[in-house]
Amino acid sequence: MTEEQQPSEEELAAAFEEQLRRLTPMDVILQAAVSLINLAGRRLGLDPSSAEERDLDQARDGIDGARALMSVLESREDPETLRPLREALSALQLHYARLAGPIGSPPDGRGPAEPPVPQAGAAEEAPAGGGPAQRSGRLWIPGQ
């Protein structure tokens, strides 16, 4: 058996430079969005092996970060290419909303911390066709 020869420091530096030459900011943004989506899923405890890692604040941060990056990606990338990311992000948002509970309730689901305060001049019923958020198709996350 022969021992594999380790690359020299110069060879490693050259390989790194070549990788940087080919890499684009959009590649890094896409990878960061994927990483944040994966991490948010772990912090939501979606995988039974990560249930002890549940942390709704960190999950929310991951979701918010991925959402922010999606707006940059959507300005440059093909919408069909981003569909799996949008679907994963939507699923995370829904799961987060289920775990976080109703607006005004603490994340542990014990019920509302305070009764909601009615807005002055607020309509009693939602307008026909839903409000602006429903019409836009974007999901609102509690606490934002």
Could you read off the pLDDT of 69-100 as tens digits, one per residue?
Answer: 999 999 998 899 999 999 999 999 999 999 98
Tokens representing 86 are 């949008």
Tokens representing 40 are 């948010």
pLDDT at 52 over 50: yes
DSSP sequence for 11-44: HHHHHHHHHHHH--HHHHHHHHHHHHHHHHHHHT
Tell me the domain boundaries of the chain: 27-100
CB neighbour list of residue 140: distance below 8 Å, 6 or more residues apart: 133
Q: 0.75 cut: is pTM over it?
A: no
pLDDT at 136 over 60: no
Section 26-55 average pLDDT: 93
